[in-house]
Amino acid sequence: MLRISSNLASLSARRALGLTQKNTERSLQELATGSRFTSAGADAAGYAIAENMRSQIQGYKSARYNADNAASFVALAEGALQEQNNIIIRLRELAIQAASDTFSDRERKMLDTEYQSLTQELDRIAKSTKFGSQPLLDGSVKEYEFQVGINKGDDNIIKYRSDSDTTLSNLNLDGGSVRDKSDARDSLESIDEAFYKLNEARAGLGAIHSRMEIAVNHIDSQVENLTAAHSKMADADVAEAVSGARRGQILQQYQAAALSYANDSQSFLLRLIA
């Protein structure tokens, strides 16, 4: 049957051309953006899952920032304790030297000058070591909570109670002296007790520092794995997108020619009425 009111061939060619153009544009958009989700409607379920993963990745990055800051907080205190440890070792050396009669009282007086200067520095370090405005070694007590997870709850928090006190008075080193042999020998016992208290504080800080490093490693692993999963789901397949775009361009040329032929195909009907 011959019709002139409806050109079905032309309608079919136009529909196919429009569909091919839409698919070609999607492939070009994927190449331009690097993302498979050129619109949420392209894969609504996949897009929602991928966005949830992206949210988790950003959350873990913030948690890592917190853990890094907490590790810096602890490292600062550990650095101060290391210097105090060095001072106590030197105090012990001076006390041992002064306890021997190989040194005269005059020489012991010179040793004591260094001894008193070092004890003052020991106390200064304890009272001046701060993270921001927060004192760390002067005996101030504070409960810290470090958010190292991406959700609510205690499983996402590392708690630390800061109560280290390495001041001169708490270490029982105030009033110590090596001016004479007896004082020097008495100082040895106090120095050993101070050394124990100092190492006890270092052990507590070392434990929390080690835990923070483990937390950072765990977060890095989560970010890596989630990023890989997100990439597989959301990133454009470049080879496929290039092939799709090239195929669409060729099809569009072919379909445009077919549409032109379909539009011209009815012209021979004029001969029937000419």
Sequence ranges of the domains in the chain = 8-34+236-273, 46-233
Q: Which residues pair with 142 in a beta bridge?
A: 162
pLDDT in tens, the chain (274 residues): 555 555 666 666 667 666 766 666 666 666 666 666 666 566 677 777 877 888 899 999 999 999 998 888 889 999 999 999 999 999 999 999 999 988 888 899 999 999 999 999 999 999 999 988 889 999 999 899 999 999 999 999 999 998 999 999 999 998 889 999 999 999 999 999 999 999 999 998 889 989 999 999 999 999 999 988 877 776 665 666 666 666 766 766 666 666 666 666 666 555 655 5
pTM (whole model) above 0.85: no
Condensed to tens digits (0 to 9), the pLDDT of residues 124-167 reads: 999 999 988 889 999 999 899 999 999 999 999 999 998 999 99
Instruction: Find all residues with CB under 8 Å of 175, minimum gap 6, and list them.
Output: none
- The rounded distance, in Å, linking the Cα atoms of 100 and 243 is 89
Q: What local confidence, expressed as pLDDT, does residue 133 receive?
A: 87
Asked if residues 59 and 219 have their Cβ atoms less than 8 Å apart, the reply is no
Q: The domain 46-233: what is its CATH number?
A: 1.20.1330.10
Q: Extract the tokens encoding 20.
A: 């091919």
Task: State the pLDDT at residue 50.
Answer: 79
Contact 116/144 with Cβ under 8 angstroms? no
Q: Are 141 and 147 contacting, i.e. CB atoms less than 8 angstroms apart?
A: no
